[in-house]
Amino acid sequence: MAAAALADTPTRTDPRLIVPLDFPTVDEAREAIARLGDAVSFYKVGLELLATDGMALARELKRSGKQVFLDWKLHDIPTTVQKAAAALTGAGCDFLTVHGEPQVMAAAVRGRGASSLKILAVTVLTSLADADLEEMGYAETARALVERRIHQAIAAGCDGVVASPHEAALARALGGRDFLVVTPGVRPDWSAKNDQARAATPLDALKAGASHIVCGRPITAANDPHAAALRIVAEMKQAGTSFPA
Ligand code: C5P
């Protein structure tokens, strides 16, 4: 399919569903977006696309009425993070990730200023096990560090965290009702697990306290991505709870 300009489409999806655009080129991402049409209203643009034309695609998505999660995972000295976050407000996107260190989180919150860009902290990368943290000089387990950093994210003024479904209840309990809890590692029970070993279903992630779920390959690699997205949306409706989008 040729990469078409993104059309304005009425939304009949669930704004709690975020689909990551994990593609090597912007043209492939555009094709996926075109196939998903009105079934998806919220997209995540991550490092792979940001390394090429991802910000241009993000602006394009915003112009077409979609919500956009910029998964930059910023991590630098405070001045640089503050300036980068301030610069990123110009794209009018919705979510921005930063690493969950107190200086970094506080700088990003200063940088976004009065804009509506929500700052999400990545507490501890899920690729890091307790032994990796010990090797890096941390005296805490991953779970304890996640809890510490959720507290620090709240103190820094972050709007939420990225958490595994297994940490969603903790993040919800600590952050309260309006805290954003965005969970990747989500798999419907009818789809392949891929490399998500400890996946939860979309419904279970929402019931645990997620405000948003990130679900990629069960949708983007399906024979009919539009139908797969709507099937997940239908399952999500059963959770009944709606946290702020
Ligand atoms: O295709 P899939 O649903 O596994 O995609 C999940 C997305 O969430 C990817 O963009 C991946 O980088 C991201 N992610 C993740 N696990 C984490 C954090 C982020 O899968 N712990």
CB distance 175 to ligand 1 below 6 Å: no
Does some domain include residue 5?
Answer: no
Does some domain include residue 4?
Answer: no
pLDDT in the model for residue 98: 98
Residue 201 belongs to domain spanning? 10-237
pLDDT in the model for residue 137: 96
- 124-155: pLDDT as tens digits: 988 889 999 999 999 999 999 999 999 999 99
Does some domain include residue 232?
Answer: yes
CATH of the domain at 92: 3.20.20.70
CB distance 220 to ligand 1 below 6 Å: no
Which residues participate in catalysis according to the annotation? 73
Choose one of 18, 22, 166, 183 to mutate for the ligand 1 pocket test, by most ligand atoms within 8 angstroms of C-beta.
22
- Measured by CA distance, the residue closest to atom 10 of ligand 1 is 20
Name the domain count of the chain. Answer: 1
CB distance 217 to ligand 1 below 6 Å: yes
Report pTM: 0.93
pLDDT in the model for residue 192: 87
Does some domain include residue 176?
Answer: yes
Does some domain include residue 242?
Answer: no
Does some domain include residue 109?
Answer: yes
For the chain, residues with pLDDT lower than 50 are 1-5, 7-11, 243-245
pLDDT in the model for residue 194: 85
- 85-124: pLDDT as tens digits: 999 999 999 999 999 999 999 999 999 999 999 999 999 9
Does some domain include residue 52?
Answer: yes
Q: How many CB atoms lie within 10 A of CB 27?
A: 13
